[in-house]
């Protein structure tokens, strides 16, 4: 029942970067690829093999890879756009363009659908020092007898780790942004380039650091999500995760990390709740057979993917600054 | 190189556009004629596979350009309205209310326009107040919601294949082409074939043949030609309509909003009203493109309306020229020719390099590390399109044919020859001098006044 996208929470970037979806995709690919490479290089019976070839290493690998990719994107395109004082439309369109280029270049390199276990295993392992009960693959946490039928919370170890790491990262990044020197410099740069430069901050370097950390965390999350899924495709990032990420970022308030994780939970719960509710509405012996009563609309569980968009539209209508945000999304008006 | 650059920069606008157009169209035409040479039925390839598609996308691109180019609203949900238009027209046609398929089509066409106007209004009302990037997210969400509704409302939008077992399929069929081919008006049988054969020419000297030009175009059905005429007529009407909007005082207000909405608000215009009006008009034009889409692809399902269609429309208008209908036409023709030729069989067969299987030493290592490096046409096409888009955005954001700097020919023609010359010169001076120069000249004036 519980699915959390860790990546939803990290919208450090100051403009709407639609190429963000490709960071997720690249993170997935790099995590998968480093698993393949490490499995090839290290024989399975080597001592301490699982100390090197484990999910944490893969995630760190994709952190570095995707972070570098973010810097390359900025250097090639976004810095030039910033220098030419382009408007927001140009940024949006060009980030979508970068997304398309990147997606199909990844497709060229690794193929559209990397077959899980084509040559080696596709499921990463955990390092040996983690106790056995934490490496168990599946937990059934609770059995609830609700009016909506018999529901249970089934959670795999990957999802448990994702939630755990998500909370740690949220608080770390929050602390980092508010208290360290680099974080303060980042905030100053985002407020005003000129003033930051006057006080002696190298804004170019700060922007590169920001890209590296933002893209890197996305890639880190992508590697973890990849480990949870049975298979993944090239279009996962842009078609599955892009809009939920934006919905969560806006709902939580852009730039607010704690708001981001709360809104991700809200979105995930409402999505699953919609699935359960609509399934009940469709059944004629459910608690409320709405579909038989209202004979004009279909209550398909497929609509659950759309509930994020509906929440997004409602949020933008009534509270565009999000749960805890202070960003003004409306157009400049006198 | 720098010499060439400065020469290029000093050329008049017209020649710069011409150079760019030739440079860009040369490889496109090369691939296109390469693809054309392999096709046996050349007339169908040119007319049915290329020109009709171009006209359909031209209508859709115009509706996008009206929003992005004239008003600065980056709408990324265009494909939803294309889907709405295609679906409603087809469903009305399949009901067969009037007995005549042409009347049915016209009725569905009008109904699709009304429904998408309502949908466009519903999406526009909350989103026109938002910043450009939030507007983009909103419209993506709107387009996806339309697609989800089409996918899930089986009762209305799915085709009943088995009435007894109540089995439904998402695939819808449009019978316009079929009906048209059975038609017979004024003694013209629509299923007849028009042929055009100009023979073949060989280029060379003596016995050596350098190149053989095959001009046997094959045949097309009269109904295909009729469909082409219908598309052309609708595209021209839409083009004229958009031009009328752009040249009117209303269109000037739109451009003013695009440049600076605060100033427009300060002179007493309601910016949001203009925004949602244009969003609705663009939705209607887009649903017309959808009605053409359902003639073109007689069978379609919700999965066909992917967001990449909207991305293609953006490439068309940015390459051709934002805010300029002629530029949109050129861009659509050029890029769509490229897409059509790169999806043809021969290009796909020729461009299918698997580097990991070819390379001698690195290849096996790459295979061990699971790196494929497939240079297939499907991937390369998107990469090339994206690179073209980014290059245009970075270095020539006004497109191949830039937007005309003044379009009030109607009023200029009232002036005498001398007056007009003067005003042209004044405008040219204004536009040629950069912001910096203007400020400096103002300072200079001020200083001279101070000295006096």
One DSSP character per residue, A10-42 reads ----SS--TTHHHHHHHHHHHHHHHHHHHHHHS
Q: Return the pLDDT at B214.
A: 65
CB atoms within 10 A of CB A282: 16
Q: Which residues on B lie below 8 Å from A243 (Cβ)? A: 137, 140-141, 144
Give me the residue label for tokens 């509270």.
A319
With H, G, I as helix, E, B as strand and everything else as coil, classify residue A322. Answer: coil
**What are phi and psi for residue A283, nearest 5 degrees?**
-70, 140
With an 8 Å Cβ cutoff, is B357 touching chain A?
A: no
pTM of the model: 0.81
**pLDDT score of A12 more than 60:** no
d(CA A135, CA B389): 47
pLDDT of residue B392: 87
Nearest-angstrom CA–CA distance, B21 and B27: 11
B290 at interface of A, judged by CB pairs closer than 8 A: no
Is the pLDDT at A151 greater than 60? The verdict is no
pLDDT at residue A289, as a whole number? 54
> Smallest Cα–Cα separation from B150: which of B329, B304, B38, B292?
B304
Q: For the residues B261-272, what does the mean pLDDT come to?
A: 84
Hunting for tokens 């056995």 — which residue is that? A132
Residue B132 in contact with partner chain A when CB distance is under 8 A: yes
Asked if B362 is an interface residue toward chain A (Cβ–Cβ < 8 A), one would say no
Tell me whether strands B299-300 and B352-354 are parallel, antiparallel or unpaired. unpaired
Q: Do B390 and A334 touch (CB under 8 A)?
A: no
**Predicted pLDDT of residue A120:** 44
From A45-54, A133-142, A292-301, B186-195, the region with the lowest mean pLDDT: A133-142
In total, the C-beta contacts within 8 angstroms joining chain A to chain B are 164
Angle between helices A242-252 and A257-282 (to 10 degrees): 120
Q: Between chains, do B265 and A246 touch, taking CB under 8 Å as contact? A: no
Find the closest chain B residue to A98 by CA distance.
B386
Q: What mean pLDDT is predicted for residues B247-269?
A: 85
Confidence band (pLDDT; 50, 70, 90) for B122? confident
The pLDDT of B379-402, averaged and rounded, is 84
Q: B389 and A93: CB-CB below 8 Å?
A: yes
The string of DSSP letters for B163-181 reads TTTTEEES-EE--HHHHHH
Can you tell me the mean pLDDT for B205-230? Answer: 71
A298 touches chain B (CB under 8 A): yes
> What pLDDT does residue B450 have?
66
Cα of B348 vs its chain's centroid, Å: 24
Q: Compare A67 and A282 and report the one with higher pLDDT.
A: A67
Per-residue pLDDT, B236: 92
Q: Please state, in angstroms and rounded to a whole number, the distance separating the CA atoms of residues B161 and B120.
A: 32
Q: Is the pLDDT of residue B412 over 70?
A: no
Whether residue B118 is predicted with pLDDT greater than 50 in this model: the reply is: yes
More confident residue, B153 or B399: B399
**Considering only CB atoms, which chain A residues are within 8 Å of B136?**
16, 18, 92
pLDDT at position A61: 81
Instruction: Report d(CA B227, CA B17) in Å as an integer.
Output: 33
Residue B399, pLDDT > 60, answer yes
Please answer yes or no on whether A100 and B155 come within 8 Å at the CB atom.
no
More confident residue, B58 or B212: B58
What was the pLDDT predicted at A7? 40
Give the nearest partner residue to A100 out of B266, B311, B380, using CB atoms. B311
Cβ neighbours of residue B62 under 8 Å, at least 6 residues apart?
B238, B239, B242, B285, B325, B328
User: Across the interface, do B372 and A108 touch by the CB < 8 Å criterion?
Assistant: yes
Cβ–Cβ of B130/A329 closer than 8 Å? yes
Tokens 């990546």 sit on residue: A7
In this prediction, residue A332 carries a pLDDT of 41
Among A304-313, B18-27, B286-295, B350-359, which range has the highest average pLDDT?
B286-295
- Asked if A310 and B266 come within 8 Å (Cβ–Cβ), the reply is no
Tell me which residues of chain A, numbers 133 to 192, contact chain B at a CB-CB cutoff of 8 Å. none
Q: What is the dihedral of CA B372, B377, B379, B385, to 10 degrees?
A: 150
Q: What is the pLDDT of residue B48?
A: 76
Q: Is B131 on the interface with A (CB under 8 A)?
A: yes
Report CA dihedral (A131, A132, A135, A137) to the nearest 10 degrees. Answer: -160
Shortest CA distance to B192 belongs to which of B220, B157, B226?
B220
pLDDT in tens, B40-75: 777 777 777 888 889 989 999 999 988 888 888 888
d(CA A189, CA B419): 51
pLDDT-based confidence at residue B241 (cuts at 50, 70, 90): very high
Gap between the Cα atoms of B53 and B335, Å rounded: 11
Residue B233, pLDDT score: 92
Closest partner CB to A316 (pick from B74, B130, B145): B130
**For testing contact with chain A, the best of B258, B390, B397, B399 (most A CBs within 10 A):** B390
Question: Cβ separation of B389 and A87 shorter than 8 Å?
Answer: no
Which of B125, B272, B314, B379 has the most A C-beta neighbours within 10 Å, making it the best mutation to test the interface with A?
Answer: B379
Chain A contact present for B382, CB below 8 A = yes
In whole angstroms, what is the distance from residue B67 CA to residue A192 CA?
Answer: 31
User: For chain A, what percent of residues have pLDDT higher than 70?
Assistant: 55
Give the model's pLDDT for residue A118.
Answer: 43
- What integer pLDDT is reported at residue B307 of this predicted model? 79
Interface of A with B in 7-66 (CB under 8 A): 15-16, 18, 33, 36-37, 40
- B247 burial (CB, 10 Å; 0-12 / 13-18 / 19+) is middle
* Neighboring chain B residues of A312 at a CB cutoff of 8 Å: 137-138, 141
pLDDT of residue A30: 79
CB contact under 8 Å between B136 and A16, yes or no, is: yes
Contact across the interface for B372 and A93, Cβ inside 8 Å: no
Residue B444 pLDDT exceeds 60: yes
Mutate which of B386, B391, B436 to test chain A, going by most A C-beta atoms within 10 A?
A: B386
Q: Phi and psi dihedrals of B372, rounded to 5?
A: -95, -45
Report pLDDT for B163: 59
B134 and A86 in contact by Cβ < 8 A? no
Q: How far is B108 from chain A (nearest CA, A)?
A: 21
Complex ipTM value = 0.76
Residue among A89, A100, A111 whose CB faces B382 most closely: A100
Dist. CA B419–CA B408, nearest whole Å: 15
**Which positions 74-113 of A are in contact with B (Cβ < 8 Å)?**
77, 80-81, 84, 86-94, 96-98, 100-101, 103-105, 107-111
pLDDT band of residue B212 (cuts 50, 70, 90) is low
Judged by CB atoms closer than 8 Å, whether chains meet at A40 and B127 is answered as no
B-interface mutation test, from A58, A78, A97, most B Cβ less than 10 A away? A97
Question: Is residue A145 scored above 60 in pLDDT?
Answer: no
- At A209-250, the pLDDT tens digits run 878 887 888 888 777 777 666 666 777 667 777 777 777 777
B134-137 CB contacts, 8 Å cutoff, 24+ apart: B134/A16, B134/A250, B134/A316, B134/A320, B134/A329, B135/B73, B135/B74, B135/B75, B136/A16, B136/A18, B136/A92, B136/B74, B136/B75, B136/B76, B137/A16, B137/A243, B137/A246, B137/A250, B137/A312
Q: Render B361-399 in DSSP notation, one character per residue.
A: SHHHHHHHTT---EEEHHHHHHHHHHHHHHHHHHH-TT-
Residue among A88, A303, A320 whose CB faces B148 most closely = A303
Question: Per-residue pLDDT tens for A272-318?
Answer: 777 766 666 666 555 555 555 555 555 666 676 777 777 777 777 77
- Rounded distance, CA A48 to CA A45, Å? 9
- In B297-361, which ranges are continuous DSSP H helix? 308-320, 325-342, 345-350, 355-358
| Residue B330 Cα, gap to closest chain A Cα (Å) | 20
pLDDT for A206 equals: 80
In the predicted model, is pLDDT for residue B348 greater than 50?
yes
Residue A300 has, within 13 A of its CA and on its CB side, a CA count of 15
- Is residue B261 less than 8 Å (CB to CB) from chain A? yes
> What is the pLDDT, as a whole number, of residue B239?
92
Lowest mean pLDDT among A116-125, A294-303, B6-15, B92-101: A116-125
CB within 8 Å: A108 and B271: no
Give B171's pLDDT tier (boundaries 50, 70, 90).
low
Both tokens assigned to B194: 């028009």
Taking CA–CA distances from A314, the nearest residue in chain B reads B126
Which of B382, B135, B312 is CA-nearest to residue A16?
B135
Per CB-CB distance under 8 Å, the chain A contacts of B133 are 15-16, 88, 91-92
Per-residue b or e along B54-91, where b marks 16 or more CB atoms closer than 10 Å to that residue's CB: bbbbbbbbbbbbbbbbbbbbbbbbbbbbbbbbbbbbbb
A334 interfacial to chain B (CB closer than 8 Å): yes
| Average pLDDT in chain B | 78
Residue A330, classed as helix, strand or coil, is: strand
Q: Are B382 and A65 in contact (CB under 8 A)?
A: no
**Per-residue model confidence (pLDDT) at position A334:** 30
């Amino acid at each position: 029942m519980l699915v959390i996208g860790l990546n939803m929470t990290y919208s450090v970037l100051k403009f709407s970067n639609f190429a963000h979806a490709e960071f997720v995709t690249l993170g997935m690919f790099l995590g998968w690829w480093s698993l393949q490479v490490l499995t090839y290089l290290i024989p399975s019976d080597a001592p301490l093999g699982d100390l090197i070839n484990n999910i944490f290493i893969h995630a760190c690998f994709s952190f570095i890879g995707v972070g570098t990719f973010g810097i390359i994107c900025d250097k090639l395109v976004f810095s030039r756009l910033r220098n030419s004082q382009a408007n927001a439309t140009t940024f949006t369109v060009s980030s979508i363009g970068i997304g398309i280029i990147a997606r199909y270049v990844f497709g060229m390199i690794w193929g559209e659908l990397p077959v899980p276990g084509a040559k080696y295993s596709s499921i990463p392992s955990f390092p040996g020092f983690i106790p056995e009960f934490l490496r168990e693959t599946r937990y059934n946490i609770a059995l609830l007898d609700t009016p909506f039928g018999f529901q249970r919370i089934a959670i795999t170890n990957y999802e448990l780790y994702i939630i755990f790491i998500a909370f740690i990262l949220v608080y770390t990044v929050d602390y980092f942004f508010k208290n360290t020197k680099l974080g303060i410099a980042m905030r100053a740069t985002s407020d005003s380039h000129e003033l930051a430069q006057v006080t002696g901050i190298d804004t170019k370097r700060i922007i590169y650091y920001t890209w590296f950390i933002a893209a890197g965390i996305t890639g880190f999350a992508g590697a973890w999500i990849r480990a949870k899924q049975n298979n993944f495709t090239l279009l996962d990032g842009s078609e599955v995760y892009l809009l939920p990420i934006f919905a969560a970022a806006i709902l939580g308030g852009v730039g607010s990390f704690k708001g981001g994780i709360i809104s991700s939970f809200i979105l995930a719960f409402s999505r699953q709740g919609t699935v359960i509710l609509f399934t009940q509405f469709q059944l004629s012996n459910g608690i409320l057979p709405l579909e038989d009563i209202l004979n004009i609309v279909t209550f398909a569980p497929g609509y659950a993917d759309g509930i994020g968009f509906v929440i997004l539209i409602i949020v933008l209508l009534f509270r565009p600054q999000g749960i805890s945000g202070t960003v003004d999304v409306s157009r400049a008006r006198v | 190189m720098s010499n060439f650059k400065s020469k290029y920069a000093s050329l008049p606008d017209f020649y710069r556009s011409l150079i760019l157009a030739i440079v860009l169209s040369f490889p496109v035409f090369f691939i296109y004629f390469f693809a054309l040479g392999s096709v046996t039925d050349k007339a169908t390839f040119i007319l049915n596979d290329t020109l009709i598609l171009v006209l359909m996308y031209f209508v859709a691109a115009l509706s996008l350009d009206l929003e992005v180019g004239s008003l600065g609203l980056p709408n990324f949900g265009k494909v939803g309205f294309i889907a709405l238009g295609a679906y409603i027209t087809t469903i009305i046609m399949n009901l067969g209310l009037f007995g005549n398929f042409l009347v049915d089509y016209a009725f569905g066409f009008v109904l699709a326009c009304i429904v998408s106007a309502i949908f466009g209004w519903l999406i526009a009302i909350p989103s026109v107040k938002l910043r450009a990037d939030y507007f983009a997210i909103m419209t993506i969400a709107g387009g996806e919601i339309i697609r989800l509704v089409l996918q899930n409302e089986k009762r209305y939008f799915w085709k009943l294949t088995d009435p007894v077992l109540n089995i439904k399929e998402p695939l819808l069929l449009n019978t316009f082409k079929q009906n048209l081919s059975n038609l017979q008006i004024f003694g013209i049988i629509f299923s007849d074939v028009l042929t055009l054969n100009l023979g073949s020419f060989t280029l060379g000297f003596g016995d050596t043949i350098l190149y053989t030009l095959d001009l046997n175009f094959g045949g097309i059905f009269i109904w295909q030609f009729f469909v082409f005429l219908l598309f052309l007529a609708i595209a021209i009407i839409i083009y004229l309509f958009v031009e009328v909007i752009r040249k009117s005082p209303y269109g000037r207000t739109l451009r003013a909003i695009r440049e600076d909405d605060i100033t427009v608000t300060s002179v007493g215009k309601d910016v949001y009203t203009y925004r949602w009006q244009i969003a609705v008009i663009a939705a209607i034009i887009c649903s017309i493109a959808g009605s053409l889409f359902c003639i073109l692809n007689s069978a379609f399902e919700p999965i066909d309306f992917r967001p990449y269609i909207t991305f293609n429309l953006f490439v068309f208008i940015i390459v051709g020229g934002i805010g300029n209908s002629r530029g949109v036409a050129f861009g659509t023709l050029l890029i769509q020719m490229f897409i059509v030729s790169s999806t043809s069989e021969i290009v796909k067969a020729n461009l299918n390099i698997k580097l990991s299987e070819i390379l001698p030493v690195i290849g096996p290592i790459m295979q061990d590390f699971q790196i494929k490096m497939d240079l297939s046409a499907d991937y390369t096409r998107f990469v090339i399109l994206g690179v073209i888009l980014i290059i245009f955005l970075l270095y020539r954001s006004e497109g191949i044919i830039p937007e005309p700097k003044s379009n009030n020919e109607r009023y200029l023609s009232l002036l005498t020859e001398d007056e007009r010359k003067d005003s042209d010169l004044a405008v040219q001076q204004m536009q040629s001098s950069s912001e910096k120069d203007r400020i400096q000249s103002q300072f200079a004036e001020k200083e001279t006044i101070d000295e006096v």
